[in-house]
């Protein structure tokens, strides 16, 4: 996937994502992923993928990083770095895009970096998840 914009991710965020990737539990796929998120208050949080012998129960690095943010009291994510090992830019899976939508706005920047921390692509959440369903829709309840 081509980079759609030239933006330099926060260097600390990159370092944290790479360090998280080194801790991934990915014995089934062999595909280690690390993610780091910056919250609205400037704090950084990280997560790695944690796979499970019951395959569908594994969780993605982005999900783990968002859970760490929420646990630390963060409620809004403003920048994300996802670190993969391949040549292709690693963008979040569909489920993680929806989780990012829960805690981030359409302008949220999501960067993909390689195993050396080089930025391969940067996208906004609106690009990754257009016409997203989000918390605002629930304020629009209509009685059946």
Q: Which residues are catalytic?
A: 62
Q: 34: helix, coil or strand?
A: strand
20 makes contact with ligand THU (CB under 6 A): no
Q: Which is nearer to ligand THU, 41 or 102 (CB)?
A: 102
Count residues contacting ligand THU (CB under 6 A)? 15
Phi-psi region of 120 (alpha: psi -120 to 50; beta: other; left: phi over 0): alpha
Q: Which is nearer to ligand THU, 19 or 26 (CB)?
A: 26
Q: Which two tokens stand for residue 71?
A: 């646990």
The CB density around residue 92, as the number of other CB atoms within 10 Å, is 24
- Pick the piece of the chain touching ligand THU (CB under 6 A) from 5-13, 59-67, 71-79, 124-132: 59-67
Q: Which is nearer to ligand THU, 63 or 74 (CB)?
A: 63
Q: What is the DSSP string of 40-108?
A: TTS-EEEEE-B--SSGGG-B-HHHHHHHHHHHTT---EEEEEEE-SSSS-----HHHHHHHHHHS-TT-
Q: What residues have CB less than 8 Å from 86, skipping those under 6 apart?
A: 114
When binding is defined by CB under 6 A, the residue of 11, 22, 29, 133 that contacts ligand THU is 29
When binding is defined by CB under 6 A, the residue of 33, 68, 69, 110 that contacts ligand THU is 33
88 makes contact with ligand THU (CB under 6 A): no
Question: Smallest distance, Å, CB 61 to ligand THU?
Answer: 4
Q: Which residues bind ligand THU (CB under 6 A)?
A: 26, 29, 31, 33, 49, 51, 58, 60-62, 82, 90, 92-93, 96
């Amino acid at each position: 996937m081509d980079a759609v914009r030239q933006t330099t991710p926060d260097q600390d965020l990159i370092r944290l994502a790479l360090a998280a990737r080194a801790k991934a539990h990915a014995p089934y796929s062999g595909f280690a992923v690390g993610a780091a998120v910056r919250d609205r208050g400037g704090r950084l949080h990280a997560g790695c993928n944690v796979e499970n012998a019951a395959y569908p129960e594994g969780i993605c690095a982005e999900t783990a990083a968002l859970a760490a943010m929420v646990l630390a009291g963060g409620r809004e994510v403003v920048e994300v770095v996802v670190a993969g090992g391949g040549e292709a830019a690693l963008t979040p899976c569909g489920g993680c895009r929806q989780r990012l939508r829960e805690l981030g706005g359409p302008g949220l920047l999501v960067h993909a970096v390689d195993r050396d921390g080089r930025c391969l692509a940067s996208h906004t959440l609106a690009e990754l998840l257009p016409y997203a369903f989000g918390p605002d829709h629930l304020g629009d309840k209509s009685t059946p």
